[in-house]
Structure 1
Amino acid sequence: MHPMEIRTPRLLLNGFSDADAHHVAALAGAYEISRFTLNIPYPYEISSAQQWIASHDTMYTQKSGIVFAVRSPTTMSLIGCVGLNADNCHHRGELGYWIGTEFWNKGYCTEAATAAAQFAFDYFSLNKITSRHLDSNNASGRVMEKLGMKKEGILKHEIYKEGTYHDLHVYGLLKDNLEVLSL
């Protein structure tokens, strides 16, 4: 497990442990999460959550990415996830996140994503962070805009999911514009 820990006014971001697999499968396994994300299957099996958690150490040690569990600092209960895949050759990274449905509309995603982006710019020496969302997930686009990301384009019919082609909206934030981020 990576040793990084970030505290925000309302959240704790730290590494996942094997004990989190059941909670990941339960939260991320909600159809509403899968429906709005690119890479989360439905149903989400506990074995898939275990494999996903096991992959985090390699990402961290190879400095190719980092994944944070988003938790309540008082109860340590899992709220969601925020992570970043780094492309060190080109000094850019891609930010991704999900929050359990019972925690939607509380600003947790924006708070966690802001903290992770600030961390990632420094830790990975990035020049740019991008993020993408399906055309049906306008809430994710609002999170990106609150981070100060600018819409860079729409990739038409980029994703085939559940028998339908979906547009993919792409956002970016340059390190030069980092002062936009605030918790």
Structure 2
Amino acid sequence: MISTARLFLEPAALKDAYEIRQLAGDEAVARNALNIPHPFEEGMAKAWISGLRLCDVVLAIRKREEQPLIGMIGLIRDEENDSAELSYWIGRPYWGRGFAGEAANAVVEYAFRSLGLNRIFATTLSRNSASIRVLEKAGFKVEGCLRRHVKHWGRFEDLLYHGLLRAECEEEFGEDRQ
């Protein structure tokens, strides 16, 4: 488990399936994410959780004081290359409060300090300015744009690649990253 000032992050579990479906099933959440189906059908969350690999770090984001699930964050690892893809989403009732950034910073620190990763990358739809800001605040740099690379909800969209190296993180934030 990872803790921050307002959140705790714990491994995704089958008990989270109902809340995941309720939050991720919101059309506004799915519209901004590449890998969230819409509609989010019964059983999809359980199947997704059951199919997670042991080497990956997929965490439920919970508010400390109330403990409801407010989103998910994860690192899909490439162990051979000491790297991982960061992905996350926050349920719409919790948007605009800095929860995604707080969770992303905590997971980045965990990835570099505890997992010993060399690189973390993330992708965003180029129109998803909120997610781009989360990544920028966590130290990620845009590494490229794949123009009209994905067909999302029937429309071709640009995909931005963001990256963060362990060395950049140590230089930019020092040893006490928070």
Match in the other structure for 1:94: 85
Residue number among 123, 139, 154 corresponding to 2:145 in the alignment? 154
The Cα of 1:176 is off from its aligned counterpart by 0.4
Contact 1:130 1:173 in 2 (8 A): yes
Work out whether 1:77 is the aligned partner of 2:68.
yes
1:46 corresponds in structure 2 to 42
Aligned-pair identity (%)? 38
SS in 2 for 1:129: strand
Partner of 2:165: 174
TM-score for the superposition, normalised by structure 2: 0.93
- Any runs of at least 4 consecutive aligned residues in structure 1 with deviations exceeding 4 A, and if so which? none
Aligned pair 1:103/2:97, yes or no? no
1:55 to partner: Cα distance: 2.2
Q: Which residue of the other structure, out of 116, 124, 130, is the alignment partner of 2:107?
A: 116
C-alpha displacement at 1:163, in angstroms?
A: 1.4
5+ unaligned residues in a row in structure 2: which ranges? Answer: none
How many aligned residue pairs are there? 174
RMSD over aligned Cα atoms: 1.2
CA distance in 1, matches of 2:115, 2:3: 19
Structure 2 CA distance for aligned equivalents of residues 49 and 105 of structure 1: 25
Deviation at 1:122?
3.2
Runs (5+) with no aligned partner, structure 1: none
Once residues 154 and 103 of structure 1 are traced to their aligned partners in structure 2, the CA distance between those partners, rounded to angstroms, is: 29
1:15 aligns with 2:11: yes
Q: Out of 25, 31, 35, which is 1:29 matched to?
A: 25
SS across alignment from 1:89: helix
Query: 2: distance between equivalents of 1:68 and 1:129?
Result: 16
1:19 Cα deviation from its structure 2 partner: 1.9
